Amino acid sequence: MRSSVRAHHGGVLPDVDDLLGTMRVVALPLVTRFRGITVREAALFEGPEGWTEFAPFVEYDDAEASRWLAAAIDFGWEAPPAPLRDAIAVNATVPAVAPGEVASVLARFPGCRTAKVKVAEPGSAPDEDLARVRAVRDVLGPEGRIRVDANAAWNVDEAEHALRLLSTADLEYVEQPCATVDELIDLRRRTKDLRIPIAADESIRRSADPFRAGAAADVVIVKAAPLGGIRTALGLARMLSRPAVVSSALDTSVGLAMGAHLAAALPELPYDCGLGTAALLAADVVDEPLRPRDGTIPVGRVTPSPVLLDRWKADEDRTAWWADRVRRVRALLD
């Protein structure tokens, strides 16, 4: 492989030809609709350190996607920090499914003691969210841990109402209930009596002032790819001085390996991490996907199977779309 690279923020920056020369674009079906999609597309590259992933969601603009490319380059062209653990405890993820489907979803996450439940989906009502959460509680039992994720869909009034309703299910925390930092601060004040911790995700990684966003939360969600790479995410987690949960963005096992290396480098992991999402994919790019086993995934690099890369390759139009995106986004890193 050609290796035309140069220094970039303390690391290396491969030319676009280096990226496109090994790029493989895949389109992986999901087990069930999640985040409004049924197929997950991702671009994979092989760097000097191994395979890496660039998979910002298709609706993200180039500026936001540039952080994902910086993360892919960091993981493929630089050795990750030394791990402090060799396995990561992960949570199950329950999409916005009907209560009767909850048990079959959780069965895909063997050994997981924690479940993250999607709530506040468009068109859904708080009572439907409560029924889903209660179904999760029935499966996990009283010792199970349940967190909910609203993806910033509620305003403060809606969030307060929903949390008072959901508090009967003994929540571990609520992730990104509202969009803005001011709303999170207001919600914390209004629901202080409930003692439900608030976790910040989008308001940190999409904020011009992540420190103010972190100060408004009890828990911070850190994701390697959206934050620009393992080192950037690790530094941010340390500076925010809040308990951190490493999560994924519906990655292939290549992207999950990046997240696992981030989680492995954190000094403390008080919460199970959101890195078990390979269980939501009906197909993957490696022979042994990083699906949870006994509630954990291992820390280490993975290598895609040539057979699976061919089987799940995106069509020519989609591959060309990703190549154009890589060219545009790579130019923003200069």
Among residues 116, 118, 192, 313, the one annotated as catalytic is 118
**Which DSSP category does 195 fall into?**
T
Beta-bridge mates of residue 50? 47
Query: Of 215, 223, 206, whose CA–CA distance to 258 is shortest?
Result: 223
Structure-token pair, residue 299: 């820390």
> 135: part of which helix (H) or strand (E)?
helix 126-140
Amino acid letter at 308?
L
Instruction: Give, for 326, the enclosing helix (H) or strand (E).
Output: helix 316-332
**101 is an annotated ligand-binding site residue:** no
**Would residue 118 show up in a list of annotated catalytic residues for this protein?**
yes
Burial of residue 185 (number of CB atoms within 10 Å: 0-12, 13-18, 19+): middle
CB atoms within 10 A of CB 94: 27
Q: How far apart are CA 159 and CA 153, in angstroms?
A: 9
201 is in an annotated binding site: yes
The answer to whether 61 is a known ligand-binding residue is: no
Q: What span, in angstroms and rounded, lies between the C-alpha atoms of 171 and 271?
A: 13
Question: Residue 300 has which token pair?
Answer: 């280490």
Q: Is 223 an annotated catalytic residue?
A: yes
Q: Known binding site for Mg(2+): residues? A: 149, 175, 201
Catalytic residues: 118, 223
